[in-house]
Amino acid sequence: MTFAKYMGAATILALTAGAVQAQDLRIGLQEDPDILDPDQSRTFVGRIVYASLCDKLVDITPDLEIIPMLATGWSWSDDGTVLTMDLRDDVVFHDGTPFNAEAVAANIDRSKNLETSRRKSEVSSIESWSVIDEFTIEMTLAAPDATLIAQFADRSGMMLSPTAFNEAGEDFGLSPVCAGPFSFSERIQQDRIVLEKFEDYYRADEIAFDSVTFLPIPDTTVRLANLRAGDLDMLERLAATDVSSVEADAGLQMESATSLGYQGITINVGNGERAENPLGSNATVRQALSLAIDRGALNQVVFEGAFAPGNQPYSPASPWYNASFPVPERDVDAARALLAEAGFADGVTIEVQVANNPVQTQVMQVIQSMAADAGITIELVAKEFATLLSDQSAGDYTASQVGWSGRVDPDGNIHQFMTTGGGINDSKYSSESMDQLLNDARLSTEPAVRGESYDAAIALQQEAMPIVYLYHPVWIWALADSMQDFTPYPDGMIRLHGVSLSE
């Protein structure tokens, strides 16, 4: 072969290689997900991966409306105890197993009965289910449960291949098989999760990428540096303190959405002996603490104004927010008056535990100095998160600065925290009227009826204040300028339908 021919061949090879070069999307994650089995996993970041891997029965719009996904429609019986769902007839799992009512039945069974299923409480209202025909399934509930459909918009609604989970059992997550736009290719723990485009996906024309690689990079500075260096196409959870520098960077763009979750101070009001202190035993002291906090200033100082101040489990932008109780202005005199009324005119000293990361510590330090002005001395105890959680659960705390990642249905953000015996009610707050209101809100599927119950529950909550809500985090995504049509969602997920990368 002469040199010219050689060069010619090389050029053609190079050109064709360019033409068929696969387009890979690289996304930087803040943490490494846990096991990739929707029935067993627990991390927020795992759900970001599922958004590309596992389609759900239903999905949400950015306005939190529930829309069809694998289910084409659904209806409730008049008494609200029978749910009938119609399913798509053109879906296959990544291993070729057909998706049908039998598959949905097997998935419900797994979520309910797998020994280590973390979804049990989410689908506990389903008592029995039956396959009506190939693409129709019926679920019978013990009592009406308005929250169920929203559960199907998250991990409980993710459909896994029954062939795969029958074979792999609890190890399904090592090589998950679902029905989403991408199929699982490989995972190197703490390094990468690679998904490949699923050619038989029923909405394949909406997917512009041949593969997507998730790279866990915990350090926010390094994650951003990777995006700037072109080693990432986008990243999730940009630090609020980096917002201005991303805005100033012509090569980057930014998207954001207020999350469904919150951060607050959970107060031990009845969880063992340590509840016996001025803060735990006296709602007026808790109200004084809330009034002493300038939530707007807190947001400015720690988050450069990027987050949303809040005083309820729902953000002020949510339709469930009770507008009769707006985010209170700081009022030191009123706080002092409340303390005096509670019999603590000389002030009180309380202990608050906080996770030992810089951001949460800073949040509590700001609150510490604000509270001091009102005569509330806060002693901060920094704990590593796993310890903080077990102390909180065991009642070995006075007050604890923690948060909640948020759920689509309003019930998921209040019921288990405020009802007697609720799974995460670490305050051990208990009130018959609160139980009644929150249980009633589950019974109706009418938003207006539910709204009344929640409004009344929030009014009670503002009085008793077992949790002092502080702010709602805002999900911030930083993207390369070449990314197009990315839509931010309040659940913090990255949905790749319709998203593309310009050359």
Partner 1 sequence: MLTFLARRIFIAIPTIILISIFVFGLQHLLPGDPILVMAGEERDPQVIEALREKYRLNDPIPVQYLAWVGNAIQGDLGISLRTQQPVLELIGEKLPVTVQLAVMALIIAMVIGIPAGVISAYKKGTWVDWIANVIALSGLSVPNFWLGIMLILLVSVNLGWLPASGYQPLSEDPLQSIRTMLMPAFVLGTALAATLMRHTRSAMLSVLQSDYVRTARAKGMKENTVLIRHALRNALVPVVTVTTLLFGELLAGAVLTEQIFTIPGFGKLVVDAVFNRDYAVVQGIILCTGVAFIAMNILADAAYRVLNPRMTST
Which residues in this chain contact partner 1 in the complex, by CB under 8 A?
A: 32, 34-35, 41-43, 115-118, 120-122, 170-171, 173-174, 188-192, 215-219, 221-222, 225-226, 228-231, 384-387, 389-391, 393, 404-405, 416, 423-424
CB of 331 to partner 1, least distance (A): 33
Q: Nearest-CA neighbor of 139 among 218, 57, 198, 84?
A: 84
Residue 106 CB partners (closer than 8 Å, separation 6+): 162, 165, 166
Can you tell me the distance from the alpha carbon of 13 to that of 21, in angstroms, rounded to the nearest whole number?
12
Residues 335 and 292: beta-carbon distance below 8 Å = yes
CB of 34 to partner 1, least distance (A): 5
Residue number with CB closer to partner 1 (171 or 379): 171
Residue number with CB closer to partner 1 (72 or 393): 393
Residue number with CB closer to partner 1 (405 or 430): 405
Residue number with CB closer to partner 1 (177 or 371): 177
Can you tell me the distance from the alpha carbon of 45 to that of 411, in angstroms, rounded to the nearest whole number?
22
Q: Nearest-CA neighbor of 496 among 24, 10, 7?
A: 24
Q: Nearest-CA neighbor of 473 among 254, 301, 285, 315?
A: 315
CB of 120 to partner 1, least distance (A): 6
Strands (E), 30-148: 58-60, 66-68, 71-76, 82-87, 126-133, 136-141
CB of 204 to partner 1, least distance (A): 29
φ, ψ dihedrals at 99, nearest 5° = -90, 125
CB of 42 to partner 1, least distance (A): 3
Q: Walk across the sheet containing 71-76 and list its strands.
A: 71-76, 82-87, 136-141, 126-133
Residue number with CB closer to partner 1 (143 or 222): 222
Residue 18 CB partners (closer than 8 Å, separation 6+): none
Amino acid at 377: T
Amino acid at 283: A
Residue number with CB closer to partner 1 (192 or 203): 192
CB of 354 to partner 1, least distance (A): 15
Can you tell me the distance from the alpha carbon of 342 to that of 278, in angstroms, rounded to the nearest whole number?
9
CB of 3 to partner 1, least distance (A): 26
Residue number with CB closer to partner 1 (35 or 267): 35
Residue number with CB closer to partner 1 (155 or 286): 155
CB of 231 to partner 1, least distance (A): 5
* 180 secondary structure, DSSP code: S
Residue number with CB closer to partner 1 (192 or 274): 192
CB of 413 to partner 1, least distance (A): 11
Can you tell me the distance from the alpha carbon of 470 to that of 299, in angstroms, rounded to the nearest whole number?
9
